[in-house]
Amino acid sequence: MVTGKISEGAEAVIYETEVLDIPAVVKDRIKKEYRIAKLDDEIRRARTKKEARILALASSKGVNVPRVLLVEEHRLYLTKLDGGTLNVLKPSKKAFGDAGRMLAKLHNINVSHGDYTPANLLLDKSGRLWIIDFGLAEITNSVEEKALDILLMKRSVGKAEYRDFAEAYAKGSDRSEGILERLGEIERRGRYQTRTLLTG
């Protein structure tokens, strides 16, 4: 039973639904007419599967992410979180500390998120922070990828929010020294100042 559309992105449409009476959302990767049909099908399948696997890994390691309820070829069914994303809510200071702690936890299990912005962090009614949208996530121990997650957040929030975020990250991360050092290097070398990164 699919009901209302929640969101429509470049790659996927999110609908509200239920799985075995559990409130859920379904992330449906839409067909791209400009891609050759067979390749398009393979890409959507592979990305759906990859996102499901990384979500399941993060879940199993205690990172706050929605649970995977069901996986179809191009659709991912996740538990529906009740709340709003940080770019829409005007969150408290604590939320950015939680965002830093949560990213450290994710990096400690060697997952990079790939799009760690306030739009992909959801604060629920009880004040718990959740990471969503693992569409660009990777299983990796790359210091560079981890530093880029931090850089993207740095460019997406104000100075005070970033300070709270970075401080909590540094405390929680197993390799914060190397990662924050790399962040400084990336900023000095001026790489990744690309439109995609600046506009998300």
According to CB under 6 A, which one of 64, 85, 117, 176 is a site residue for ligand ADP?
85
Contact track, ligand ADP, 25-44, x by CB under 6 A: x-x-----------------
Residue 28 β-bridge partners: 13, 75
Residue 21 known to be catalytic:
no
- Tokens matching residue 167: 């401080």
Which of these, 119, 150, 154, 151, lies nearest to 135 by C-alpha position? 119
Comparison of 9 and 184: residue with beta carbon closer to ligand ADP: 9
- Dihedrals φ, ψ of 18, to 5°? -140, 145
- Tokens matching residue 136: 């660009």
Q: Edge to edge, what strands does the sheet with 129-131 contain?
A: 83-85, 121-124, 129-131
Of ligand ADP, Mg ion, none, which one sits near residue 69, judging by CB under 5 to 8 A according to partner kind?
Answer: none
Q: Is 123 in the site for ligand ADP (CB under 6 A)?
A: no
According to CB under 5 A, which one of 51, 133, 149, 164 is a site residue for Mg ion?
133
Comparison of 25 and 143: residue with beta carbon closer to ligand ADP: 25
Comparison of 98 and 133: residue with beta carbon closer to Mg ion: 133
Q: What Å distances lie between residue 170 and 43, 116, 118, 176, CA to CA?
A: 36, 16, 19, 5
Catalytic residue numbers, as ranges: 115
Residues that bind ligand ADP (CB under 6 A): 6-7, 9, 11-12, 14, 25, 27, 66, 78, 80-81, 85, 119-120, 132-133, 135
